[in-house]
Structure 1
Amino acid sequence: MIKEGSYLFVEGQGPVEPFRGKYAVKSADVFERVRARWASVGLDPASAYLPMRIELELTTKCDDSCPSCGMGALPLAEGRTLTDGQIRFLLQQFASIGLPSIAVTGGEPFTAWRALLKLIEGASEHGIDISKLTTNGSWGTVARCPRVFERLEKAGFLDGTLFVPLLMMSIGEQNTPLESVARILHHAVTHYSKRELNVAVSSLADPATRRHKVDDLVAVYESEYGQFPHERVHSTMRVYLTNDRIGGQAPVHRPGHTPVAKWMDHCFDCFAPTVGAYVLPTSLLKNDGSWYTCAAFNVPEKLAFGNLLRERATDVLARAAASLYVQRVRAGGGLKALHDVVPREFTEKTTCTSFCDTCALLIDQFDEKADTTTGHRSPTLIPPAALMARTNRAAAESQR
């Protein structure tokens, strides 16, 4: 399997190789094309924050129950799915900010099959790529698997102009039979080239046995189809913060006594335009419309800057780009930029368990030291009809 982190292309740090990496792009000039896209809708390409992708929580419904779910999934009877009208509205919002791509997540997106197809078809009509589709693979039965692929293809899942779409199979704590996951992988790699579709597996180790679940998947696959296609399947093994790593990957130590300063020094710049290994910057859009400048599972609440079901996306984006915290992190290449704001006495003595926890602590410290308030959680409610009219006017003005 190709490990996460391979083929990292950051804007301004060397050439981009097309069709390389988990989030492969289709052209070497991808950053130039994206910046032209932003400029075409009136955005400043030099802004402190412009998302390359929005991670969209299409539904909170799920047909599984993982003990440490990081997705906010709910049982089928309790979850909710975006309506057709909300999907159309959000796609207009995305187009108004020149959004390059969407990552579809849940819940389990395939429990909202009709809405999923509407989203894919609508994104294609607006010229927005689907760069990732995450699933537990429960649809990978003998009867459904080929039909689902056929319908996804017809809807436009493979038609993006910037990114090779990624089908992400999550097998962490899911109860989906591995035979179904293996069937999906086999169909993907035998019916599509790596220029058409990428596939990846997000896995989890059993804390009791230290055995990695991906090992079981490989065994199931090889018993049915022969040699596992390691050269086609990418890995994501850092989704769960307490996860044990696959053999051969660098060990990760996440004890609670790790100083904030250490996390800061090793933080990657999540606001720098990046493709290949990741798609960054990536926003998170929750099912209720709440919009965050980061798509980590445990994203700090203060990185919420508005609600795209209640406000214009251009306004929310401008608010994020004007944030002193976002500006400082972007200008300084990651959390290390805060060393000259937050006292070493705090960062070296305070401990936590992750980059995300570090970020949350630093936001509080930064707001206190800089006398500012990061985030925006209580937008003024605007009637949907009025908001739609404003969005349409903004789109028309951008075409003049």
Structure 2
Amino acid sequence: MAGQRAARFSMGRDGWTMIKEGTATYVDGRGPVIPFTGKYAVKTSAVFDLIRAGWDGAGLVDAPYRPLRIEFELTTKCNDTCASCGMGALSLQAGRSLSDRQLDHLVSEFASVGLPSVAITGGEPFVAMRALLRFMAQARGTVDVSKLTTNGVWGSQKRCGPTFDQLVAHGLLDNRLFVPLLMVSIGEQTTPLDRVCRIIHHAVTEFSDHELNIAVSSLADPSTREHRIYPVMRLYAETYGDFPHDRVHSTMRVYLPNERLDDQAAIHRPGRTSVARWMDHCYDCFAPTVGAYVLPTALLKASGDLYACAAFNVPEKLGFGNLFREPLRDILARTNRSAYVATVRAGGGLKALHDIIPRAESEQMTCGSFCGSCALLIDAFERKTGGEGTAGGTEPPMVSVDALWSRFPAKRPSGDKARG
């Protein structure tokens, strides 16, 4: 047992921290899946077989890009006003929530392509509680809610227990494939930390890890790298006893800009990193993955715009259509016609673009994040290939998927058949 703990935890400045992101990563075709392990745990070792059966039943046979999850903005409203909000949340007065008609439309569209799961975010989803519960009830049995993100505003002594009861009554525990994850995001939020602790305590004492996972997304200022998870751990220990390290998963991030906020506080990130280095360290975000992550994941903004990446500062050119104006099936087909997406998908990440964009050029470009490097690489890719290979509404050059796999044979999933 001691050896297992050493493998699952890392030492922080205040002692052991919770389970680190990256534990228990399972990629389709690269070994067995162990159920009920990882932040995005699955309920069956046959999860990829079941997901493929859903896609095939929906007619998405052999499409190279098929998301395992769509992360969507239930609302852009938020009770808080974080100066560096990476999600671009708006005030309660300025934001908007999806309507009943839009929510029902999403459930129908998700079902039409056999989408395995969704993640619900905002804004703050719990300020749109009626819409949240409606979607969960409508989606039950059709598409799993694999993640629900919150700043913990509802974690007061009066609201915490009843809110959990409502979530359960509307299907929180009824997922078919994924153990649901409740993600509590802390950073600049003014939510009292005792509410965060109360939510954690309720989750780990009232639910088993086969029913519900809990995580803390601890965002840090890029200049100081200070995370608020440490005072949360101290307060929890003072209030409830030992912090439940074996149940609480960790996501530790830094703030990133969001184009929605014109007056967003400046992000001061020390140093500049070459795009070539970002490329070399980019992971395979299009490989079907569960456990530590759910990949590939798309982003659906409250406007209906759909992106082939779930980063909230995703490059606009990775937007391939609007789900409130056209079928999801058509948007996915357009994504699959993107030469840029196909190249990154087949090559296992941004490193695949080294074959197209000379390292001498990418070494000269600098930026502060993977997302920033992706935006620069899209433009460079279009210049090198002589066309718009990404933007929604265009007709990118067709690329033979088999031709791409032939360049990266080790990346080809075992179940992916050759196509003419």
Which residue type is aligned with residue 71 of structure 2?
E
Aligned to 2:35: 18
**Does 1:203 find its partner at 2:195?**
no
Aligned to 2:47: 30
SS at match of 1:151: helix
Could you say if the C-alpha distance between residues 301 and 67 of structure 1 is closer, same or farther in structure 2, counting changes exceeding 3 Å? same
Which residue type is aligned with residue 222 of structure 1?
A
Paired residues of 2:225 and 2:254 also in contact (CA < 8 A):
no
Which residue type is aligned with residue 376 of structure 2?
L
SS at match of 1:182: helix
Aligned to 2:303: 288
Deviation of the 1:219 alpha carbon:
1.3
Aligned to 1:213: 228
TM-score by length of 2: 0.85
TM-score by length of 1: 0.89
Paired residues of 2:187 and 2:227 also in contact (CA < 8 A):
no
Which residue type is aligned with residue 97 of structure 2?
T
Aligned to 2:131: 115
SS at match of 2:110: helix
Q: Which whole-Å deviations, capped at 9, do the CAs of 1:227-252 have from their partners, x for residues lacking one?
A: 1101100000025359xxxxxxxxxx
Deviation of the 1:220 alpha carbon:
1.2
Could you say if the C-alpha distance between residues 367 and 299 of structure 1 is closer, same or farther in structure 2, counting changes exceeding 3 Å? same
CA distance in 2, matches of 1:223, 1:208: 30
CA distance in 1, matches of 2:193, 2:273: 36
CA distance in 1, matches of 2:276, 2:184: 34
Write out aligned runs for 1:150-165 (5 A).
Answer: 150-165=165-180
CA distance in 1, matches of 2:120, 2:222: 29
Which residue type is aligned with residue 61 of structure 1?
K
Greater mean deviation of Cα atoms: 285-294 or 4-13: 4-13
**Does 1:102 find its partner at 2:98?**
no
**Does 1:315 find its partner at 2:323?**
no
Paired residues of 2:320 and 2:335 also in contact (CA < 8 A):
yes
Could you say if the C-alpha distance between residues 365 and 210 of structure 1 is closer, same or farther in structure 2, counting changes exceeding 3 Å? closer
Which residue type is aligned with residue 30 of structure 2?
Q
CA distance in 2, matches of 1:48, 1:265: 23
Could you say if the C-alpha distance between residues 323 and 83 of structure 1 is closer, same or farther in structure 2, counting changes exceeding 3 Å? same
Aligned to 1:190: 205
CA distance in 2, matches of 1:119, 1:144: 20
Paired residues of 1:59 and 1:109 also in contact (CA < 8 A):
yes
CA distance in 2, matches of 1:240, 1:209: 11
Paired residues of 1:60 and 1:107 also in contact (CA < 8 A):
yes
Greater mean deviation of Cα atoms: 158-167 or 207-216: 207-216
Aligned to 1:392: none
Deviation of the 1:211 alpha carbon:
4.5
Deviation of the 1:204 alpha carbon:
3.1
Gaps of 5+ in 1: 243-253, 380-400
Alpha-carbon RMSD across the aligned residues, in angstroms, is 1.6
Write out aligned runs for 1:118-267 (5 A).
Answer: 118-125=134-141, 127-205=142-220, 211-238=226-253, 240=255, 255-267=270-282
Gaps of 5+ in 2: 1-17, 258-268, 395-420
Q: Which whole-Å deviations, capped at 9, do the CAs of 1:159-205 have from their partners, x for residues lacking one?
A: 10100000000011100000011001100000000000000001134
SS at match of 1:270: coil
Deviation of the 1:298 alpha carbon:
1.2
CA distance in 2, matches of 1:53, 1:296: 13
SS at match of 1:223: helix
Aligned to 2:69: 53
Which residue type is aligned with residue 69 of structure 1?
C
SS at match of 2:219: coil
Paired residues of 2:305 and 2:319 also in contact (CA < 8 A):
yes
Percent of aligned positions with the same letter in both sequences?
A: 61
Greater mean deviation of Cα atoms: 279-288 or 88-97: 88-97
SS at match of 2:326: coil
Paired residues of 2:220 and 2:253 also in contact (CA < 8 A):
no
Deviation of the 1:13 alpha carbon:
1.4
